[in-house]
């Protein structure tokens, strides 16, 4: 076999048990949280029609899609996000389901990004979408659920960077700049190329007043939502649609603050996102130690209509599971999984193997994670292996103790042991956790 097969394809990863456990644990928190807020899970295919996925994903993302022809000659792609698929569902199979509709998804996505820290070609997202409401409380709910997830996984230090695409688009609309040109400006802003964005607006016929407003706007940013949105309003006063957008953003931020969630916002007037379907509030999550976003979201009121499902306003967020896991590592947050007790059952000699199997079943029946010594090793060798693998409790099953309905329970951390009856075993493990 060629040695190339011994490695994963560039940008693809094997997740070994520790990494897989961390990822699944975040996924579990995301799923539980979804249920708590009334989001029901939908499972959509990894392979979709190229046109669906490419429709409003933006130029940069479009170039990075895994596109191929299937054996039936269809032009298909691996999903680079969930939003288009979920919107397709709402526009087709769920048109008659009463709104608001809250849908959750989790799974792997594919983008031909340049592999580097936190950037993979296969990655995982949790995804929450709320359909049917254009009210600021819907936007606020998405911000609050995002913050709640970060708190639940114990991330300590992060903020939400937030803006509203209607502000920039409102200014550009006011100048009669076509949507396609606006999209190009947004792509440049997403890459923080402010000067290039301004040059493009000039080329597209933007007036000096518009350029001045944009230049001032790009400098407005800060942690005080009331003050920052006030400054934004002052700068774009001459553009009524942009002003409406500022009011909308300010309303959303007030509701999110009043919810008591205590979200740390950073409002940045020149912030844009690469995805083209956004029509309202947009935001990204940043952990203090990392300059790549842990998640992103926003309002997109026209996508369902584009997919033929009528006017259905929508807002959502996709927290990236891989990057949240990296942020937890950076902040040295201990995974909850590692705090769970793990029991190792060791038979003393071959004669006790069947008894040990029975004890293991009893333990699992009580919900303890239980492994059994399966290599016929001596008690001392099995114990040193258990130590190395972070086992919390060993249960030694010997003939003498078993005759009295007892086993030896060893607390691996304290390095102490006691003989306990099978009846007391479960309680003692819990007590010595």
Closer to ligand HAM by CB, 136 or 320: give it.
Answer: 320
Of 57 and 409, CB closest to ligand HAM: 57
CB of 304 to ligand HAM, least distance (A): 12
Helix axes 194-203, 208-218, angle to 10 degrees: 160
Nearest residue (CB) to ligand HAM, 270 versus 296: 296
For ligand HAM, the closer CB: 127 or 370: 127
Cα separations in angstroms, 396 against 159, 231, 313 = 49, 70, 61
Number of residues in contact with ligand HAM under rule CB under 6 A: 25
Q: Is 297 in the site for ligand HAM (CB under 6 A)?
A: yes
User: Among residues 25, 85, 105, 125, which is the contact residue for ligand HAM, using CB under 6 A?
Assistant: 125
| By CB under 6 A, residue 366 contacts ligand HAM | no
Chain-centre distance of CA 14, in angstroms? Answer: 19
Residue among 116, 163, 172, 100 at smallest CA distance from 297: 163
The answer to the question of residue 318 lying near ligand HAM (CB under 6 A) is yes
Q: Which of 25, 127, 133, 182 binds ligand HAM (CB under 6 A)?
A: 127
157 phi, psi to nearest 5 deg: -130, 115
Among 136, 320, 347, 398, binds ligand HAM (CB under 6 A): 320
| 42-50, 228-236, 310-318, 380-388 -> range binding ligand HAM (CB under 6 A) | 310-318
Does 279 sit near ligand HAM (CB under 6 A)?
no
Is residue 347 near ligand HAM by the rule CB under 6 A? no
Using the rule CB under 6 A, which residue among 298, 313, 347, 398 binds ligand HAM?
A: 298
Output DSSP code: residue 272: -
C-beta closer to ligand HAM: residue 33 or 318: 318
**Residues in contact with 269: Cβ distance below 8 Å, sequence separation at least 6, in sequence order:** 163, 167, 217, 218, 219, 220, 221, 228, 232, 235
Which position among 42, 126, 130, 317 is part of the footprint of ligand HAM (CB under 6 A)?
A: 317
CA dist 221 and 167 (Å) reads 14
Q: What is the spatial distance between Cα 416 and Cα 294, in angstroms, rounded to a whole number?
A: 43
Residue 429 as a binder of ligand HAM (CB under 6 A): the answer is no
Three-class SS of residue 240? helix
The 66-95 site mask, x for binding ligand HAM (CB under 6 A), equals: ---------------xxx------------
Q: What are the b/e assignments for 211-246, b being 16+ CB within 10 Å?
A: bebbeebbebbeeebeebbebbbebbeebeebbebb
Contact flag: residue 221 with ligand HAM (CB under 6 A): no
- Segment near ligand HAM (CB under 6 A), from 97-105, 172-180, 293-301, 400-408? 293-301
Q: Does residue 131 belong to the site contacting ligand HAM (CB under 6 A)?
A: no
Please tell me whether residue 58 binds ligand HAM under the rule CB under 6 A.
no
Q: Which residue is nearest to ligand HAM (CB)?
A: 320
To the nearest whole angstrom, how small is the minimum distance from the Cβ of residue 127 to ligand HAM? 6
The C-alpha atoms of residue 70 and residue 412 are separated, in whole angstroms, by 55
Q: Which is nearer to ligand HAM, 118 or 174 (CB)?
A: 118
* Residue 68: partners with Cβ closer than 8 Å, 6 or more residues away: 76, 77
Question: What H or E segment, with its residue span, contains residue 214?
Answer: helix 208-218
276 binds ligand HAM (CB under 6 A): no
- Ranges of H-type helices in 219-350: 225-235, 240-258, 303-306, 321-330
> Could you say which DSSP state residue 37 is in?
T
250 contacts ligand HAM (rule: CB under 6 A): no
- Using CB under 6 A as the binding rule, whether residue 296 contacts ligand HAM is answered as yes
32/205 Cα distance (integer angstroms):
50
Tokens of 130: 């709320």
Q: Does 34 bind ligand HAM (CB under 6 A)?
A: no
Using the minimum distance from each CB to ligand HAM, give the nearer residue, 127 or 187. Answer: 127
Question: If we measure between CA atoms, which residue out of 281, 291, 290, 286 comes closest to residue 319?
Answer: 286
- 57 and 80 in contact (C-beta within 8 Å)? yes
Q: Of 42-50, 67-75, 122-130, 256-264, which segment contacts ligand HAM by CB under 6 A?
A: 122-130
Site membership for ligand HAM, residue 325 (CB under 6 A)? no
* Positions that interact with ligand HAM (CB under 6 A): 81-83, 111, 113, 118-120, 123, 125, 127, 129, 275, 293-298, 316-318, 320, 322-323
């Amino acid at each position: 076999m060629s040695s190339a097969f011994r490695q994963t394809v560039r940008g693809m990863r094997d997740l070994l048990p520790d990494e897989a456990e961390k990822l699944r644990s975040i996924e579990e928190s995301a799923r539980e949280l979804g249920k708590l807020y009334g989001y029901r899970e939908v499972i959509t295919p990894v392979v979709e029609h190229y046109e669906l996925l490419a429709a409003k994903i933006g130029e940069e993302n479009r170039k990075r899609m895994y596109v191929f022809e299937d054996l039936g000659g269809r032009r298909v792609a691996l999903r680079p996000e969930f939003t288009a698929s979920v919107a397709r569902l709402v526009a087709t199979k769920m048109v008659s389901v009463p709104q608001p509709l809250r849908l959750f998804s989790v799974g792997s996505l594919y983008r031909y990004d340049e592999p580097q820290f936190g950037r993979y070609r296969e990655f995982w997202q949790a995804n929450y979408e709320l359909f049917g409401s254009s009210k600021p409380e819907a936007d606020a709910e998405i911000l609050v659920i995002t913050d709640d997830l970060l708190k639940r996984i114990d991330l300590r230090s992060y903020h939400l960077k937030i803006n509203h695409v209607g502000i920039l688009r409102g200014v550009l609309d006011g100048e009669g700049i076509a949507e396609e040109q606006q999209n190009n400006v947004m792509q440049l802003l997403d890459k923080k190329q402010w000067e290039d964005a301004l040059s493009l607006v000039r080329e597209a016929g933007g007036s000096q007043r518009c350029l001045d407003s944009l230049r001032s706007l790009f400098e407005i940013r800060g942690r005080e939502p009331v003050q920052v949105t006030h400054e934004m309003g002052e700068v774009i006063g001459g553009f009524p649609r942009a002003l409406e957008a500022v009011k909308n953003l300010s309303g959303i931020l007030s509701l999110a603050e009043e919810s008591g969630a205590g979200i740390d916002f950073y409002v940045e007037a020149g912030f844009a996102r690469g995805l083209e379907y956004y029509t309202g509030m947009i935001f990204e999550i940043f952990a203090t130690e990392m300059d790549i976003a842990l998640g992103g979201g926003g309002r997109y009121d026209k996508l369902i209509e584009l997919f033929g499902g009528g006017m259905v306003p929508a807002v959502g967020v996709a927290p990236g599971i891989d990057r949240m896991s990296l942020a937890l590592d950076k902040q040295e947050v201990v995974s909850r999984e590692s705090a769970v007790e793990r029991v190792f059952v060791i038979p003393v000699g071959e004669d006790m193997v069947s008894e040990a199997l029975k004890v293991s079943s009893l333990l699992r029946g009580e919900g303890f994670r239980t492994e059994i010594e399966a290599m016929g090793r001596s008690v001392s060798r099995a114990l040193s292996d258990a130590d190395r693998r972070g086992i919390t409790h060993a249960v030694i099953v010997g003939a003498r103790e078993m005759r009295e309905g007892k086993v030896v329970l060893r607390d691996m951390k304290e390095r102490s042991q006691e003989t306990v009856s099978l009846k007391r075993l479960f309680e003692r493990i819990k007590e010595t956790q």
